Structure 1
Amino acid sequence: MTTAQPHSLRWRLMCRLVGLQAAMLALLVLLVIAALWGAGHLVSLESEDDTIDALRDAVVRESNGDIAVRNTPTLAKRRAQAPNFWFLIRDREGHSVSQGRVPLEYASIGDALDGIGQARLGWNILDGMRPTARMKWIDTPAGNIQILTGQGGAVSWQRIGHAALTLFLGLVLPIIALMTLATLVATPMVVRRTLAGLDRAAAHAGKIDIDGRGARLPLQDVPSEIVPLVTAVNDALRRLDEGYERHQRFLVDAAHELRTPIAILQTRLESLSLGPDARRVLEDVARLSTLADQLLDLQRVNQQADWFSSVDIVAISQKMTAELAPLAIAAGYEISFDSAAGHIAVRGDQGALERALTNLIQNAIQHGGRKGGIVVRVEPPATISVTDDGPGIQACDRERVFEPFYRSQGHGRGAGLGLHLVQEIVRRHDGTVAISEGPTGGTCVRMTFKPAHGTP
């Protein structure tokens, strides 16, 4: 399935404007030509030039010096086409020949035009229907003569085409070129100014993330044609916010409802003699309790206030290692704590940092293969790492394991919330969390924070 390529609004608008302008201009020119021609005032497309060409080939000089006109096929065709066909031919020596009914206005005008090579004679448009004429001095077999002729016959398609091409090249094409240039210059400016509000809305949309709930796209200066789209996007954001809130409320309510029966179940199991499988049953119940705690911790992180105090990550790490040591030892691990400094302070929430480290240690216990050691280490300037000797996490999964509910191949146990919760807590402390391979091939998860001012 191919994806349609986006089109530039500027270029589409310019192309369509230029095409529309060209079509309207061409239609206007055609209407003007048709109106003038129908009224009998469009002299540039009358047939006198064809008549002059026909007479050029038909004029001969008789032996006594007079001018005569042969009845050539072309001239005969002109006569047949024009019932009022007429012409007046003369030379500078006073010889002349005429045919048809020469209008009185032109009967004696030839002498006055001896000094003019050619002329088109007619009347103003408002003078009504009056006869027009065409005069031209040309060279013929009978010598240089003056031909004066009037309307008559049909205009040849060649002459119409030539006149139309001349009109197009001389008038229409320059106007189209000028309008195209103006469109190319003005359209991008108009589009850019018109869509400025949409650009701001798009920039605002690019900043919306999962933590920006309640954000809406601005409608200020957005073109009215685009307002329905922006409004629809805002409605979709509102529905997503409502769905997210319902989802969060469900998780919190479910976690709260699960904690009590899980605690009761754990207490009852501890009082019963379950034989060799007791340890595994208790571990399964502990995982259920951990899952409920993680759901609540995730909600606490999302509602966490943006205030921090100075906390000692060395003391936090030592405390959580000691508290979780019995669970690690019971699962078959050797757990140890190591610090390169006696005190490292960071700005943060102590409870949230404790939950993050607890999740890392529990994750190592759950996926460390039930053998080897777990090392909790604190290093300057402000780094906490938890390393195990388990099978490790493949490089292709080291980014995805931070996604909620994602479980890498070979690590099917658990809900996939622990590392996501760790990432959220570290991110809210402006820190980073990364996974690498441990010294013995296991997994090393490292949380790095910004040390508090004045920390050595």
Structure 2
Amino acid sequence: MKSIARTFTLSLGLAATVLFLATITIAVWQSQLREYEPVVCRVAAGVLYDAAVVDPGHALTIRSTRGVEQLKSISPNLWYVVSYEKQITEFGGEHRPALPFSLPYGGPIGFSVLNTLDQNSTFCLAVIPWGPSDLVMMVGGAQVRFGQMLMSFVGRNIFPLFLVALAFASMVLIGAWLSGRFVGRGIDRVTRRALAIDPSAPQGSISLDEVPIELKPLVEALNRAFDEINAYIKMQRRFLGNAAHQLRTPLTLLRARIEDVADPPLRIALVRDMRRLTSLVSAMLDLARLQNHAIEKGPIDLADVTRDVLADFSPSALDAGIELSLEQPEEDGTVVQGVEAAVRSALANLVGNALIHARGARRVTATLHRGRVSISDDGAGFSPGDERQLIEPFQTGNAAEGGAGLGLSIVQEIMAAHGGEFIITSTPGGGTTASLRFPEATARAMSDNRSGNVETA
């Protein structure tokens, strides 16, 4: 796809060139209508001047050039007399009328249109300096083509035409630059308004008030597409929430009936499967609520929430032979704005994911910093580039261990709802680190950068 600005510039340049050439053509045509005889005089005299030759013996001849032959072919009544000093050459003497002066002519230099002696016709007199003397040409009955008149006009007015062409080119460049700026500004306004729309809830639309007329059909199509996408997203979220809600009642009844199973191994297996299914339904409900932005923030202490989550998972970690630890290099700055239940759920997902899917892990560590908490393990890790795949819904790090596959996706939604970041880094054989970075951490980093700049200054 070509650049709009480039295409517009080329189009404007082509239009200006056509206009310029048309202007010159009209000017020559008007000149022909007003001053046909003087123009013909100059053209014919120029053709003869280019063909004139004086040999060393001072013999004057008119060479049979292309211009001369063309002049003769289109002028059946052509005659001319050319003289240089005392040398005279003549063509079409039978058509030449009586002249009002004798030859050779010794008058002033220049171009003139004179009447013949009988006053019935006119002829051209051209006196042009040539070496030590003047070349005198008298031409009558000449006819010239429009192209010859055009070339003669351009030759006589080359400097004014250059100035006009320069003015046209300047107008084209300035017009293209200004038009490109205006078009670019219109597109930028549309782009900014499109980027301001929340991708997770594109119910907003781009206002047509400040949109150029040429872009309104495009913006209307975008608004229509946004509305359709928003309706589809709402339908999907509504279906997800309703499905999860409707599943809760049969799950509760099924859980009660499992307790009546007489076979202990079968009952244990059914209870485990029921917990996984219940976890999946709860995760779907949490995901539906977060996607609908049902969140009200308040101050929460990451240190307290992290300790509680680690305490909840201590029995599971003990059974798995994995050590849980907490590191807090800084004693303050762990209070962030958010929803405690949602943050607790995110941390529980990360810790539980590390205990289940971190192959070969012997230790899981929670590290607290200002506005940030990280869960690290010393397991096998995974290959770089798999982070995005793990965050996708219904993807798990270890398919052999089972799992709902919604945990990390819910963590991502929780951090998006809090305006923060969820970052996963891993090194094969070096473990995995999952970090929750809240806006407070970003604000502190910006403050530290400003302070460092001031001190350096």
TM-score after normalising by structure 2: 0.73
Are 2:251 and 1:262 aligned? Answer: yes
Asked if the contact 2:71–2:144 (Cα under 8 Å) also holds between the matched residues in 1, the reply is no
Matches within 5 A, 1:375-394: 375=364, 377=366, 379-381=368-370, 383-387=372-376, 391-394=380-383
Aligned length: 429
Q: Report the Cα offset of residue 219 of structure 1.
A: 2.2
SS at match of 1:226: helix
State the partner residue of 1:136.
127
**Residue deviations 1:369-425 (CA, integer Å, cap 9, x gap):** 6x8767564635455444556543433323442233344465673343211211222
State the partner residue of 1:364.
354
State the partner residue of 1:126.
none
Q: Report the Cα offset of residue 134 of structure 1.
A: 1.8
Are 2:387 and 1:395 aligned? Answer: no
Instruction: Show structure 2 runs of 5+ residues with no match.
Output: 445-457
Matches within 5 A, 1:16-415: 16-33=11-28, 37=32, 41=36, 43-46=38-41, 48-49=44-45, 50=47, 84-85=77-78, 99=93, 107-108=100-101, 114-121=106-113, 131-136=122-127, 147=136, 149-153=138-142, 155=144, 163=152, 166=155, 169-170=158-159, 172-276=161-265, 278-304=267-293, 307-324=296-313, 332=320, 336=324, 338=326, 345-368=335-358, 375=364, 377=366, 379-381=368-370, 383-387=372-376, 391-408=380-397, 410=399, 413-415=402-404
Distance (Å, rounded) in 1 between the aligned partners of 2:166 and 2:18: 13
**Residue deviations 1:216-264 (CA, integer Å, cap 9, x gap):** 2232332222211111111111111111101100110111112222232
Structure 1 residues 352 and 88 mapped into 2: Cα distance closer, same or farther (>3 Å)? closer
SS at match of 1:424: helix
When structure 1 is superposed on structure 2, of 420-429 and 241-250 the one drifting more is 420-429
SS at match of 1:181: helix
Q: Report the Cα offset of residue 442 of structure 1.
A: 4.9
Asked if the contact 1:87–1:100 (Cα under 8 Å) also holds between the matched residues in 2, the reply is no
Structure 1 residues 82 and 301 mapped into 2: Cα distance closer, same or farther (>3 Å)? closer
Q: Report the Cα offset of residue 138 of structure 1.
A: 7.0
Asked if the contact 1:360–1:445 (Cα under 8 Å) also holds between the matched residues in 2, the reply is yes
Q: Report the Cα offset of residue 334 of structure 1.
A: 5.4
State the partner residue of 2:452.
none
Distance (Å, rounded) in 2 between the aligned partners of 1:389 and 1:69: 108
Instruction: Show structure 1 runs of 5+ residues with no match.
Output: 1-5, 62-67, 124-128
Q: Report the Cα offset of residue 207 of structure 1.
A: 3.5
Are 2:40 and 1:8 aligned? Answer: no
Q: Give, as a single letter, the amino acid of the residue that structure 2 aligns with 1:355.
A: S
Distance (Å, rounded) in 1 between the aligned partners of 2:389 and 2:264: 39
State the partner residue of 1:65.
none
Q: Give, as a single letter, the amino acid of the residue that structure 2 aligns with 1:20.
A: A
Structure 1 residues 386 and 259 mapped into 2: Cα distance closer, same or farther (>3 Å)? farther
TM-score after normalising by structure 1: 0.73
Q: Report the Cα offset of residue 298 of structure 1.
A: 1.5
Q: Give, as a single letter, the amino acid of the residue that structure 2 aligns with 1:416.
A: G
Q: Report the Cα offset of residue 10 of structure 1.
A: 2.7
State the partner residue of 2:447.
none
Structure 1 residues 274 and 45 mapped into 2: Cα distance closer, same or farther (>3 Å)? farther
